Structure 1
Amino acid sequence: MFGCLVAGRPLQTNLQQIDETHAIFELPAAGSINHVCVFLLGTVPFPEGYGATVHFFWPGKGFQLLGMLSNEKPSAIFRLRGTYSAQSTNAHAVFTDAASDAAPSDVTAFLGLSIEPLPQIMAEVATLPSAVAKSSANPVADSTLMAERIVRHLFNYLSSFVGGNPSALTPDVMVPMSMIAKWYENFLTKVRNSGIGFLENQE
């Protein structure tokens, strides 16, 4: 039902079932992971009115709620590095028993999925930091923010050709299409290789 993808690694479908509503992915060599993408494989949808919360477990630090998946939101990319804060929910107790068998020296983290009613999921997601909660609850705001970051990236790229002075980019300045084509190629390469985290670094 679920797939998990860490940039630079093969697609993982080796989901380990804990019980009827909980499952985990093992994430070996977790110290090198910046972003992880989780998604529905498209073979089995959630039952009506249900979705899944997504949790991250780091040995010795506990669990962190990352976000959610649903039939309306079948995939999500989560940033792991630099955002860790341990939390505790009912789902975490189930995952902790399954993850406690791994030796901390292995540095194997776990991605937990808990199938729950959507109202319960929305209440849990609302406890996340405000920026994450807004983007999870409002896809339009999330899309607007992403579009703004992409345009800012293009603007910064073009500014670098006028001595780093954005004010030099006036309506009278002609920008060759080859410049934009080059930016587009570089942009797609970055996204394929390392995800979209670099866009956040512009803030």
Structure 2
Amino acid sequence: MTTILYARVSTADQTLAHQEEQARKHGFEIDHVIADQGVSGITTELKNRPEGKRLYDMLRRDDVLVVRWVDRLGRNYQDVSDTIREFMRRGVAVRTVINNMTFDGATKDPMQQAVRDALIGFMAATAQAQAEATREAQKAGIEHARAHSADRYRGRKPTYDRTQYLAVRDLLTQQVGTSVIAKSVGLTRQTVLRIKVAPEQAEAALASWGV
């Protein structure tokens, strides 16, 4: 049995090192780490990503695939659902670091299968909903910046960049504490609180400075 951690890293998400550290802290003994850098989970299916293809080739029956959460597999409902079910058919167990969920084909009880499949659908839908919410916030921020660009006043330059902003938003959705987020992304607690209270204004500030 081999345990493989798959990580997807883009400007909107946590670093590879952080995802691996999280997995090991939660007790996962990782044999291999596979990662796709700068790949969208919305537009590119796992099987079409450079390292995603390699992952499909590597996984064998009784192996364990570890991901921080199902959104690392993708942010599209159908894609995530199909991917997890495909791995289960292959005899691979999919485990998440967050919430310590396990999806496999071990159970033969129809009721347990129904509950498992419903949970897969719910988590896949949540991953897509979060992606769409983030995209709408970005759009609102850009439109806000454009609407106020006529006076050419941009205010003080943000003390955070877009990667930090999106990492804060991602961690806030996971109910991570403000102080922990600040330490994790290298910002002050006050900055994290400003992003938490007014995410659209924080996004608008980035957009107005072209960050």
Shorter chain as denominator, the TM-score bin is: 0.3 to 0.5
Higher strand share: 1
Higher share in helix: 2
Larger radius of gyration: 1
TM-score normalized with structure 1 length: 0.32
TM-score (norm: length of structure 2): 0.31
Select the structure with the greater relative contact order (CA < 8 A; seq sep ≥ 6): 1
